[in-house]
């Protein structure tokens, strides 16, 4: 399935009160690989941008004055999103704004044309309960470089979200082995299980999986500034 990482910037925080979208950024991923396709549009919101919003994204009324209205770019947005899984950080905020824009045009909600909407903020809160889970906080925690982010920008943030999402979803979901129904003894405690009867299957990685793993290792080596231990061991080993 196509996955689209989506972010918007707006005139304010309340779509129901008339705040509008001023920027949308979308990045496409297929098979956990970025395809290079993206959508990036600015919009004239036909109203003033709140000063607090300008401090966040830097998009002034003067800059937006000559940009197209959302109605002029709606078909392009819907075509890009059609049938994809949308991955959005704090999805209720962005989908709320998109749906208000679409309602003005007599169009159905974005959820009806997307295959699925995934909220990466909800994912992060489940994985890191009690911790800060803003996009900036996740970039720091997962070692995604966001030092070039002076302002929030829809396309830039969509790209950071894609990197964060790949790190959030890396690895197995669970290491728990199902060994039966778990019968209890007379004290209500789980009876001891004979683990010797468990046969663990050995699943060989495919060529594609090996290549994807090598790309991940290269990314990790780059992110650490070349300080990954195994690269030094490989270089020192005569059998490497």
Catalytic residue among 50, 89, 148, 152: 152
Pairing of strands 2-10, 21-30: antiparallel
Is 152 noted as a catalytic residue in this protein? yes
Task: Write b or e for each residue in 123-139: b if 16 or more Cβ atoms lie within 10 A of its Cβ, otherwise e.
Answer: bbeeeeeeeebebeebb
Q: Terminus-to-terminus CA distance in the chain, angstroms?
A: 38
**Could you give the CA distance from residue 190 to residue 174 in angstroms, rounded to a whole number?**
20
| φ, ψ at 72 (rounded to 5°) | -75, -20
Using alpha carbons, select from 2, 237, 233, 239 the residue that is nearest to residue 113: 2
**Could you give the CA distance from residue 188 to residue 25 in angstroms, rounded to a whole number?**
55
The DSSP code for 175 is -
| φ, ψ at 219 (rounded to 5°) | -65, -40
| C-alpha atoms less than 13 angstroms from C-alpha of 77 in its C-beta half-sphere | 26
29 sits in which H/E element: strand 21-30
Cβ neighbour number for residue 214 with a 10 Å cutoff: 10
Active site residues per annotation: 152
């Amino acid at each position: 399935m196509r996955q689209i990482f989506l972010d918007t910037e707006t005139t304010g925080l309340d779509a129901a009160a008339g705040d509008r979208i001023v920027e949308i950024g979308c990045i496409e991923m297929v098979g956990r690989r970025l395809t290079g396709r993206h959508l990036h549009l600015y919009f004239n919101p036909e109203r003033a941008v709140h000063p607090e919003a300008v401090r966040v994204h830097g998009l002034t009324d003067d800059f937006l004055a000559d940009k197209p209205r959302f109605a002029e770019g709606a078909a392009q947005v819907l075509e890009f999103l059609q049938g994809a899984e949308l991955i959005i950080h704090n999805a209720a905020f962005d989908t709320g704004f998109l749906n208000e824009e679409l309602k003005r045009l007599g169009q159905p909600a974005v959820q009806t044309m997307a295959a699925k909407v995934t909220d990466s903020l909800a994912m992060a809160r489940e994985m890191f309960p009690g911790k800060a889970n803003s996009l900036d906080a996740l970039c720091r925690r997962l070692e995604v470089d966001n030092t070039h982010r002076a302002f929030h920008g829809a396309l830039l943030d969509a790209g950071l979200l894609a990197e964060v999402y790949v790190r959030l979803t890396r690895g197995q979901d669970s290491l728990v082995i199902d060994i039966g129904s778990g019968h209890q003894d007379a004290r209500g405690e789980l009876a001891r299980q004979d683990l010797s009867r468990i046969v663990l299957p050995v699943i060989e990685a495919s060529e594609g999986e090996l290549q994807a793993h090598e790309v991940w290792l290269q990314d990790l080596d780059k992110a650490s500034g070349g300080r990954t231990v195994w690269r030094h061991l490989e270089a020192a080993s005569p059998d490497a």
